[in-house]
Structure 1
Amino acid sequence: MTERAALVTGGASGIGRATVALLRERGWSVVVADLNRATGTAAAEELGASFSVVDVSSEDDVAGAVARCVDEFGRIDAVVNNAGVGGAFGSLTEIDVDEWDWTFAVLVRSVFLGIKHGARAMRAAGNGGAIVNTASVAAKSGGAGPQAYSAAKAAVLNLTRSAAEELAADRIRVNAVCPGLIVTPLAVDGAAAQEKAAAVMARRQPWPDMGRPEDVAEAIGFLVSDGARFVTGEEITVDGGLTAAGPRMHEAYGGRPGERGLTGVNRGSTGVPPTIRRV
C-alpha cells in the first residue's frame, strides 16, 4: 500500500511528464499512461513510475490503466487526464471528418473515460479523490488554436463542471488547467520552433518568460493536493497573462492553416508523424 497514487495520461512528455516528476518528488506512486512506448518507458524508468501503453480513446485501455493503478498500489487518489494532440486543422470546409472525430476522441472521449473509470474506482474505495483535466486557453476564445482543438478543449471545460457537480457527494473533486503556449514537444518542437515561439510570445504574452511544463505541473499538483480540498468545478489558467491580453496566435504564426491552403492532422508526441495536405 502506498500513501497516494495517481494515473497520468500523456505522462511520457511535456506537461504530463513534468506532472509525474512533481508527484514522484512529493511521494506519490504514479502510473504513466501513454501511447508512445519508447518515451513512456524512458520516462517511467527515469522517474521511478510504472508505465502502461494506453490509447486514451479506448475504453478498455483507460479502464485497464485505472485497474493497474489500483492493483499495483492498492488505491487511486488522482487521475490527470492530460493526453493530447494538436488534431485536425485547416479550413472547416476541407477538414476530413475522420480526422475531426479522431481529434475529439483523443481530447474529449479520453477525458470522459478517465473520469468514468477513475471515479468508479474512487467511489468504490470510499476515500474521495481528485481528477484534473488539461484544457487550454484555446477553449476560451477564437484564434488561440485550430478549430477542432479549440472546440474539443471547450468541451473539456464544460465536462469538468458537470462532473464536479455530479461527483461532489463522493468527495471527488474535478478541476481543469488551461495552459497557454508551453514549451513542450506538442506545442514547440525543436530549437528553431522555440526561437520563433519566443519571438511571438514577446509580442503577445505580457509575462516575459516562456511557459514551461513545470509551471502547469505546479497547478496540477495543487489541485490534487489537500490544499485544494474545497476547490472543484474550477479552471486554473497558466498562460503568463496571454488570455488577459487577448490571444490572436494565428496572426502571429502567419495566418490560419486553412487560409494558407493547408489541412491535415497533428498527432502530437504519439510517435506518428503529422498528415499535411495542400488544398
Structure 2
Amino acid sequence: MNKGMGSHLLAFNMRDLPSGVEKFLKDTFPHQQVEASYELTDGLSNKNYLVVIEQEKYVLKLYQGTFPKQSLLLQTRLSQGSDNVQKVVAWDQTTKSAIFNYVEALQQDLDKDAIVHLTHILAQIHQFAVNNTSTVLNLKQALNSLHQLFKLKFTREFDFAIGSLSKFPEDIGFCHNDLVKENCIVSDAGVVVIDFEYASRGDIYFDLAALVTSFELKEDQIMNMLQAYYIQKKQIMPSYASRKLTAFRVVYLLLCIAWYEERGEAEKAASHIEHLKAIEIV
C-alpha cells in the first residue's frame, strides 16, 4: 500500500538512472528532449520521477519489488475508456519501470462532491471485466501471515476481523487495493485514480473501507457513500452493507498498521491505530 505521486520534488539528473532505464525513456520518446527531471520523494515502495518532455509532464516509476505486469495491462485497458484513471504510456519489464501521464492536482483534499465522484468511479472500476479465473486477494491469508506479536497486540480486533471474513457474503470485483488519499487526485478532469500496482480481483468492501479510512468519513457520510455507490451500480444496497463495511475497516486498518510498522513509519501506524480504536467492535 504505497503512497502515490508525492508533492516533494528534488532536482534529479537523468544520467544518474540505470542505463537500461535511460534507454527505455529515450526509446519511448525518440527525438524528444528531457527538459527537466525531479525525484518525487514521498513514495514509500518505489522510486518515482517527474519528467518534463517538450512541456509535457510524465511520471517515471521504478518498481523496487515484483514488476506488476498484469496490473499495468489492466490499468491500460481501464484507462482507455475513462478519463478518471491515470494513463499508462509505456512499460519495460526488463528494467522494472513504467511511464505514466502526470496528473496535476488542483487541490489537496477532496470535498463532498469529489467524494461522490470518487465513489462513482470506484463503482465503475469494480465492475470492470477481468478474467474470472484470475487470483482473488485472500484477506484471511494476509491477516494470518502477520507476525504473532502483532496479533497479540490486537487480539480482540484480529479475532473480530478473521471471524467477519467468514460471516458475510463475498462481493467480488476488480479492486484497486491501495485507495489511500494520495492515489486519488482532483484534476481538471475531475477525480483521477492512480497507482494500480496492487490491483486484483477481491472483495469490493476492502476498497470501500480504504475510502472511509483515507478520507476520515463520518457515519452520515459513510451511509451517503454506500447509497451513492449502489445507485451508481444500479443495485439494491444489501442489508449487511453497513455492518460488513465496519468489519472490513478493521481488516484494512490491521493490514495498514502492520505495513507501516514494518517500514518504520511510526507516525502513520499510530494514526491508523487511533482510527482502529475509534471503531465500535461488537
What TM-score does the superposition give when structure 2 sets the normalisation length? 0.26
Higher relative contact order (CA 8 A, sep 6+): 1
What TM-score does the superposition give when structure 1 sets the normalisation length? 0.26
Q: Which has the larger radius of gyration?
A: 2
